A and B are shown apart, each in its own frame.
Chain A
Amino acid sequence: MTRTLREVVFVEGVRTPYGKAGDKGIYAQTRADDLVIRCIRELLERHPELPKDKVEEVAIAATTQIGDQGLTLGRVAALLSGLPNTTPGYSIDRMCAGAMTAVTAVAGSIAMGAIDVAIAGGVEHMGRHPMGEGVDPNPRIIAEKIVDPSALVMGQTAENLHDRFPQLTKARCDAFALGSQGKLAAAYAAGKIQPDLVSVATRHKELGYGLATVDEPPRPSTTMADLEALKTPFRVRGNVTAGNSAGLNDGATACLLASEDAAVAMGMPVRMRLASFAFVGVEPEVMGIGPVPATEKALAKAGLTIEDIGLFELNEAFAVQVVAFLDHFGIADDDPRVNEYGGAIAIGHPLASSGVRLMTQLARQFEEHPEVRYGLTAMCIGIGMGGAVIWENPHHADYVASASKEA
């Protein structure tokens, strides 16, 4: 048989507002699965042109697949979202890059011709499921020194990055963090964040129902002085603080992916086209450097160089890890192409959900920047990995739709 690889496009992404994990957070008594179901239903609602039975896969990521994040969440969420029995689903775990992996996994299926339309997303309710809940590390990890014990504590891996790259000072990281807060506040003020949010009714036994409509973590009034005064919980007199890291958060994302042909045939918008992607492993104790080799690999696969990338959506697990990336590629810490709407330091980082947030924001920036041909979404991943996905902007003058390419 002959096989034609198909182009994969990003139709639309949505997310819940992100909340602070814990008893006082907006989602303290809200189920994790309900968060991601809300996103899936919103996608279906926004795309009445897509018949529900044409959704051929639902891949949902969660790092801690227990309780309301367990039970083959992709399948159960599909059923609870009102998709027909015929729509299959599965769960994905690649820690922070869960949703990103959900996207690349279903993209692989689409490209190969196995399916035409899929939903990919992720959820992490770190209040209900703290990082490391129920883990049982193999004793050989320590006994045989497979990885440095600090590799399992993400904050320590960030401190390790400071050791490896002494030029990445705390001051640079704090400045980057401050910028993230400011950029998000500006994006909110300009109404650039709100269109991708779905409101969530938040039931609380003692307080009654509320409605989450905006992100809870941002601290727009943060100053450098505030950041300098924060403790360094991962190392005495260290560099990594709550201010220059993403917090512990609750939230979910989902996006609609399709073959470009199917999207066009059904009348679905094409917001981004997948150019290439790569996941690469690094030393677990400096997991934050992961996006560098992942990006290099993805660029190579796409036949591009870093200069071709006009917009960057880099997950800000830690400021140091973003700054390390920028430093490596010779990009200024405050380059306007980078995280135009701010990043996880301000918005929050519900682990497995974040990948799709990066893509959703990049898609919106593509619309605003038709001059940009390619954009990058990238993130570091626990246990020493990096993930990078390069996207092509369909609004760019040189963009050629796949159907017309064949003709």
Chain B
Amino acid sequence: MIEKMKLLNKYPILFALLIPVLLLNSCAEKESILITSDDYHNSVDKITLIMVHDIFSPPVASRIYAYPNIAAYEIIVQKDSAYRSLTGQLEGLTAIPKADDQTTNFGLAALIAHMDVSKSLIFSEEKVESYRDSLYQIWSAKNKTEFETAKAYGLKVSDHIKNWYDGDLYKQTRTMPKFTIDTDDPSRWQPTPPAYMDGIEPHWNKIRSFVLDSAAQFKPLPPPPYSLEKDSDFYKELLEVYEISQKITEEGDSSEEVVIARFWDCNPYVSVTRGHLMFATKKITPGAHWIGIVKIACKKSNADFNKTVFAYTKTSIGIFDAFISCWDEKYRSNLIRPETLIHQNIDENWKPILQTPPFPEYSSGHSVVSGSAATILTHIFGDDFSFTDDTELAYGLPVRFFTSFNKAAQEAAISRMYGGIHYRFAIEIGLRQGIEVGELVVEKLAMNK
């Protein structure tokens, strides 16, 4: 930018000569750039694909969804009085710069800001750039002035949002100590097969939340006390995981429970060994699945651009805080996974239907996130909202039909027990925990007028 300014100062005459030409060109193309909700869906989908490629853990992925949506949302509220700014409602968010020109195409600026904030958060920037540049070319050809104005504004807001997220302690948590495995206490989490990865994001509860007053605001009840006594609650729950898994494995791949478990797997990095070959199969995260459901709901309800941005934003805020709430509990209770205990005490050769993800068991992340997202979506689109969920189609999984968001959340939650990676209490309490986060978001955030 500075370079350009210098250029202007140095060659005022040259620019004076150029300006009429530019004006001439723009006069010839008066057509306005029309931005639809599909454009926004496409941008979100593109970021999802890149996230899968780049490999982000579920909590980190939730952060990559949230901030770009908020950037877009804050732009559309500048123009659309139906929505209210989140300034002052989200911790540390100050008012974004006003647009200099009220004729700015705010939808276009919102989309540009979404792409630009997203780009800063993912790794493979060149993938966003090539997508962005192809759009830029189209828009520029259609109406250069309108495009340049919107772009300048979008990027300005993007910078504002980047400054804001920079203070959320994400970077600082990178240098904090890794999670230390306690090998002496049998109830404590241990790394799980096959990759025995370190526990991920042990400091995620230190990340600045959006709406929660603290990571522990919805601290769930502690899990049943660890015990391997046959009549203890804990052992019964452990045995239930094993027995259900045995039963549905016998029934085979077509069993409804196996289908459900696989459908909601949402594991961004599954380490696969075939023969001598090791590789990762990568899917979307739990948060990304619910972002996919936002798209389905928007499309089914013919949501306009602004409502689309609103729905994504509110849901991604709920998902983000749900992860903070859940991760706070995970590293508090630091509970061992069923797989480890089943290997040690019940069946050495047992393998869960899903690969156990690398962090403590309690509470179930997918349950918390699903509870939160479904609560917010129900608030936006209503409880009586049936939909066909084809989010996982790209990953070789079938479509499923749900009569409501809450039904989908309940299935997502119980899928973790079918998958052999969670106890029932982690699911039931986790779902409750998520609903509480979602309700808080609904209650506290005044977004619609």
Our verdict on whether A and B bind, yes or no, reads: no
